[in-house]
Each structure stands twice: as structure tokens, then as C-alpha cells.
């Protein structure tokens, strides 16, 4: 896998021996592993636009794993984090998961368990990214609507009938039908439920307030 689809695993661990063996393990299954011995060094190099995940040691001198996680959230570096720790006491595990950790694995770790977790995290990252692209495409389609088409879109997805929309806008039912077909075409919606789903995804309507 080359180019944009290349999967990257950031490995952050102050133990050089553990770092080397983890990088070797990941590269042995064809993943690109980028090693860092400190949280600050990793944060300086982290690229959240990649299909990537982070293997993060909890206890490191200076900036510990939980501090790195907090800093990633503050910088909106939204990559899945797998914590690894030789001291997995319950409060640390709870704190990590509450802050959105993907997984927590104790050292010395089972290699297959680690690889399975990494593959799952990378898969989640790719799905989230394609979802974001879908959202961008949806917003782009909304921008193609004329003001009058938008006037029809909202009551349409809110469940109003053609006659009711015609009364609201002061036009004929035939005109509303014309706008409706244009809206469906521009939004690339094959059915009304499709259009409703798009409006909810774009946060134009609150699903709890639909008729």
C-alpha cells in the first residue's frame, strides 16, 4: 500500500529496546512504523491527515501518555490511541478510556493481540475519514441549491405535504413538485427517506422534531 492509503503506526515509548521490537513487529506485517522516545517529539511530528494510529506508553519521563492524549485532543489530532503499560492500574485505564482511548494493552504484550488491536484502530480511522469526505460532499451538494430550492427542502424533509408547502410559500402545488424534483436531483437522493437522512446528517433538521 503506497501513497495516500499507506497505514502508519506512531510508536511512542522511552524504552529503546521495547521501541525497536515493536517497530520490528509492525514492519514484519507490512505496516509503516514511526518510532519516538518522547511524547513531545511525537507531537511535533504527528500528522492527523494520515491513516494512522498511535501506540503510546503510559509512563514516560517528562510527558506521560495521558498528558500526550490530552495534548492531542487540544490540538485536534484525532487518531486512535492504543495505550501500552507495564503498570495498568485501574484509575489509569479508566482515565484513558474516558478520554477516548481505542485500547489498553499490558506489557509484556501478546504480539497477535497487539497486531489485532492496531488493525482494528487503523480500520476505524479509515472509516471515520471516508465519513468526513462524505460529509464534505453532502455540504457541497447543499451549496448548489438555489434559495427557493432550500425553501422547499426544509419543509419537505420535515414531513409537510406538497399542498402544505405550496400554502407556506404562496405558490402552486405544481411549482412545489417542480422544485422537489430539482432538489432530489441536485442532492442525488433517489427517495424521500434518502433526502431526510441527508438533511439529518447535515444537521439541517433535528430527527426528534420531525413529524
Mean pLDDT of the chain: 87
Is the pLDDT at 3 greater than 50? The verdict is no
Q: How confident is the model at residue 211 (pLDDT cuts 50, 70, 90)?
A: low
Question: According to the CATH classification, is domain 3-132 in 3.40.50.2300?
Answer: yes
- Whole-number pLDDT of residue 196: 83
Inter-residue contact 79 to 32 (CB < 8 Å): no
- Whole-number pLDDT of residue 207: 62
What confidence tens digit (pLDDT) does each residue in 14-60 have?
A: 999 999 999 999 999 999 999 999 999 999 999 988 889 999 999 99
- Domains of the chain: which residue ranges? 3-132, 144-209
Average pLDDT value for residue range 151-176: 92
Return the CATH number of the domain spanning residue range 144-209: 1.10.10.10
Reported pTM: 0.61
- Whole-number pLDDT of residue 92: 80
Is the pLDDT at 130 greater than 80? The verdict is no
- Whole-number pLDDT of residue 185: 92
| Residue that wins the pLDDT comparison between 117 and 95 | 117
Rounded Cα gap, residues 144 and 137, in angstroms: 11
Torsion of CA 79, 1, 119, 16, to 10 degrees: -70
Amino acid at each position: 500500500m503506497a501513497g495516500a492509503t499507506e497505514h502508519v503506526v506512531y510508536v511512542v515509548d522511552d524504552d529503546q529496546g521495547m521501541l525497536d521490537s515493536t517497530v520490528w513487529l509492525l514492519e514484519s506485517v507490512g505496516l509503516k512504523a514511526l518510532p519516538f522516545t518522547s511524547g513531545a517529539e511525537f507531537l511535533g511530528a504527528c500528522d492527523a491527515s494520515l491513516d494512522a494510529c498511535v501506540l503510546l506508553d503510559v509512563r514516560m519521563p517528562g510527558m506521560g501518555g495521558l498528558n500526550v492524549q490530552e495534548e492531542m485532543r487540544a490540538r485536534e489530532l484525532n487518531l486512535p490511541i492504543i495505550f501500552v503499560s507495564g503498570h495498568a492500574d485501574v484509575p489509569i485505564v479508566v482515565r484513558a478510556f474516558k478520554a477516548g482511548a481505542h485500547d489498553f494493552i499490558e506489557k509484556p504484550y501478546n504480539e497477535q493481540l497487539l497486531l489485532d488491536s492496531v488493525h482494528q484502530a487503523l480500520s476505524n480511522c479509515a472509516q471515520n475519514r471516508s465519513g468526513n469526505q462524505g460529509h464534505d460532499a453532502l455540504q457541497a451538494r447543499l451549496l448548489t441549491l438555489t434559495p427557493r430550492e432550500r425553501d422547499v427542502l426544509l419543509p419537505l424533509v420535515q414531513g409537510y405535504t406538497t399542498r402544505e408547502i405550496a400554502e407556506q410559500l404562496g405558490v402552486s402545488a405544481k411549482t412545489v413538485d417542480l422544485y422537489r424534483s430539482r432538489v432530489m436531483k441536485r442532492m442525488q437522493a433517489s427517495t424521500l427517506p434518502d433526502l431526510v437522512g441527508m438533511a439529518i446528517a447535515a444537521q439541517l433538521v433535528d430527527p426528534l422534531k420531525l413529524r
